[in-house]
Structure 1
């Protein structure tokens, strides 16, 4: 009988096959004396009594992992790569009616793309590949995706090339259940739909400006306005409305949302016709996120190779199709962050990544056609907010880079690739990184997204509504003192709130001799009183 401290399940597999997932295990199981669970982060420790020890074979511990733990696809991909098909084939041959052996055989084929032999005598009720109580899984909408070879229902939330492996938790479910409509409706109830609709244009421009700031680019006015126009016209659509019409061009829920045709058009719309790019659409060259330091290249994140781009984006589209009617916050988080980790474009990846958040929320019906959530404003609000964004990106990139950085080098002479880009990057260990690129745990990203959206709605959007209401009240107060056009009232409001009241006051009295010092003082007081009423 196994002694206290003996590993089992996924941890046993990782140690035995030297196949530790770069993203770590969400659950680590050990044999102890009594059954108990400890959750002190960053993983959950499960202690089982000695009689729960599964055995000494790989199949024993794979069954334990499938039965008792959230399935870690990165782990299994690495285990199968090292062990090969033999132990899974022998297991399903010896126990063809076992639901765990059948699920293991299905997972082997799903993750490796290799076929196993179906044993004679295989039978049993159909069983889902993933336990939906432990793992994020696909919806069963309409006809189940039944794999008759193994009597398994394929409820994987993606494809072999992109399938997020997310262990469910109470905190994650809180993020899943964040109700955007309810929080937005509360603001409508407080301020009114008309006032909020007036703020839409300004919020869209703020979203555009903040998106540039996140990338540490100032963003000249025409670039900001161009991206704001893209946000306003492309969000929720496959393209901008047809010229002279308010009817969208071929609006589709999810199909082709990341197709090369759409991304190429979107990239051109964001960057403009004058962008100095050798080509648009999917890149055909290696790419990394980094910087030059002391004449040497520093790599912060290495994206998947160009040959993986199309199949990974198709995997994200499949994820969106197979998780329909689930949490819009979860779907927007995984699809948008999944996109930026693939980094499929030569330029514009960050802006498209943040655009996709609103794009997917609108397609899912979580926001209406007149609402843009300025999430980039919340991301870039202050150094702490920006650091939180960088930290969540690092949840996948840092563990990956810790493992593959020694294998990255730079050639003396750059190579010119088919898309016209030159690169001196050298990396030949794609097989080492692919399980992380394909099967990452996006739970931190979903939790982060719910927090950012909440901050966006209850703080930034509410603050804009408060400002507009105060502005309206200030206009009315000024006109109670003296009739004036809106443009003049707005100039007075800007001068008082911008602390330039003395210079504007002098100009106003010079241009309008009837304005006395007393009248100007009353203007200033009226504006201050209007903006002092924050609620």
Structure 2
């Protein structure tokens, strides 16, 4: 556990969080000023601690805007912390700060963010000259196509807007994944196999993705629902830009008709368990029903911003699909729609070729602990902040505090790293091994036919010979193959 060196004081975001005792999510980077010593950096898991020399200190530690300027300069952008701090900053303070630094990059960023986050327009004239500057540093963050704000001379390149924005940092891990170019890895794998082998493999992999996605939810679909889900996966690339109506239709196609909705949920849902007969443990509380429409409108805007940007397919899929499942807009089907969105975005972004799928859900299912851990990277800190709620004996939960801001500005960096690892593993195992299985199967089948045709076996009945010829691609050669897919799923793979 990181122990702060002696004679250090917080600066930037950390100073503001401590000053106002904010219950915001922890920012990935905290900064401190040391009275003596050199510049140092510590890292513990995904949390960074930066120790600066005294010369870096702000002129007035009680000036919130100077602390914000330091934070934007060194610690990146935390919309959640900024929105919370701006509640304690007056419009006059911001106006005076901007007038003092009229062409300063960080003064203009503060001005832009204050107006957008508080919905208040300051009594300041538009900037009439000077170069535009990016809101997010595109060397540190994945960014969207810039939208120029002429008033502030700021290029807004957020993956969303100030009502709902997904943040993904360019960590060393993500940079390594990006440089690996998994799309080209897939292309090289495909080149090694006959198109007929690829086609046969896809029939099985679509089924495997479907069954795995349902099994994660501890459900077993009947053949009709499974076939419908397979059809949705196959048509994912043709689905136009998402809308509320399309998500409702998806939900109706996926869930049991008894639980299908014609709108977003109107009740509070949560994830919990019963450790014993007398208590219920709550693991995750989703947004209040009255916040769903607002959050989903922001989600759709972020979706469009990300899809039209140059953000890579896997990063985009991680940000959008997990944002959806955290909002949990429906009573049922959220998890399966979340995993469907992964495939939809991979298709829309051109990562998966037409008629192909990578059964990511199978990898998630095989390492359920890792999948749960990445969900808990959001749910655990969330639950340490949502403390004012009641749970009735009938299981009805009600949240009594403001909670919407916790879902508005999620840092998806660790989640993007996780999804990259899943897709890499899917390509190396589920995808490649299935192709190798079919090649081996064909060779074995030819060997059997050669044996049957040998004169020494001429007494083999025609009926027995026919039984060899009718072997299906979807029948395993040994009990070890495809044990994770139930027998009644195999007919679906042949369709």
Question: What's the TM-score, normalizing by structure 1?
Answer: 0.79
Residue aligned with 1:197, SS = helix
From 57, 71, 94, the equivalent of 1:53 is: 57
Partner residue of 1:236? 237
Instruction: Indicate how the Cα distance of structure 1 residues 45 and 485 shifts in structure 2: closer, same or farther if over 3 A, else same.
Output: same
* Distance in 2 between residues matched to 1:492 and 1:223, nearest whole Å: 23
What is the Cα deviation at residue 104 of structure 1?
Answer: 0.5
Tell me if the contact between 2:291 and 2:404 (Cα under 8 Å) persists in the aligned partners: no
* Distance in 2 between residues matched to 1:50 and 1:113, nearest whole Å: 36
* Distance in 1 between residues matched to 2:416 and 2:194, nearest whole Å: 30
From 262, 270, 289, the equivalent of 2:271 is: 289
Tell me if the contact between 1:177 and 1:327 (Cα under 8 Å) persists in the aligned partners: no
What is the Cα deviation at residue 122 of structure 1?
Answer: 7.0
What is the Cα deviation at residue 134 of structure 1?
Answer: 2.4
Aligned length in residues: 457
Partner residue of 1:331? 316
Q: How does 1:462-477 map to 2 (within 5 A)?
A: 462-477=432-447
Residue aligned with 2:371, SS = helix
* Distance in 1 between residues matched to 2:150 and 2:23, nearest whole Å: 32
* Distance in 1 between residues matched to 2:260 and 2:222, nearest whole Å: 22
Partner residue of 1:11? 14
176-185 vs 197-206, which moves further: 176-185
From 179, 182, 185, the equivalent of 1:180 is: 182
Partner residue of 2:173? 171
* Distance in 1 between residues matched to 2:377 and 2:300, nearest whole Å: 23
Partner residue of 1:522? none
* Distance in 1 between residues matched to 2:154 and 2:474, nearest whole Å: 67
Deviations along 1:20-55, one digit per CA (max 9) or x if unpaired, are 532x12112112321233334331222222111122
1:38 aligns with 2:42: yes
Tell me if the contact between 1:107 and 1:129 (Cα under 8 Å) persists in the aligned partners: no
1:352 aligns with 2:337: yes
Instruction: Indicate how the Cα distance of structure 1 residues 442 and 496 shifts in structure 2: closer, same or farther if over 3 A, else same.
Output: closer
Deviations along 1:109-148, one digit per CA (max 9) or x if unpaired, are 22233332225887532222222222332223xxxx2222
- In structure 2, the gaps of 5 or more residues are 1-5, 454-464, 481-495
Partner residue of 1:503? none
* Distance in 2 between residues matched to 1:390 and 1:195, nearest whole Å: 34
* Distance in 2 between residues matched to 1:443 and 1:130, nearest whole Å: 15
From 451, 457, 477, the equivalent of 1:481 is: 451
1:389 aligns with 2:371: yes
* Distance in 1 between residues matched to 2:17 and 2:370, nearest whole Å: 30
1:63 aligns with 2:59: no
Partner residue of 1:198? 200
Instruction: Indicate how the Cα distance of structure 1 residues 230 and 322 shifts in structure 2: closer, same or farther if over 3 A, else same.
Output: closer
Tell me if the contact between 1:400 and 1:436 (Cα under 8 Å) persists in the aligned partners: yes
User: What value does the CA root-mean-square deviation take over the aligned residues?
Assistant: 2.5
Tell me if the contact between 1:290 and 1:298 (Cα under 8 Å) persists in the aligned partners: yes
Q: How does 1:321-470 map to 2 (within 5 A)?
A: 321-323=304-306, 324-381=309-366, 385-404=367-386, 406-411=387-392, 424-430=396-402, 433-470=403-440
Tell me if the contact between 1:92 and 1:119 (Cα under 8 Å) persists in the aligned partners: no
What is the Cα deviation at residue 219 of structure 1?
Answer: 3.3
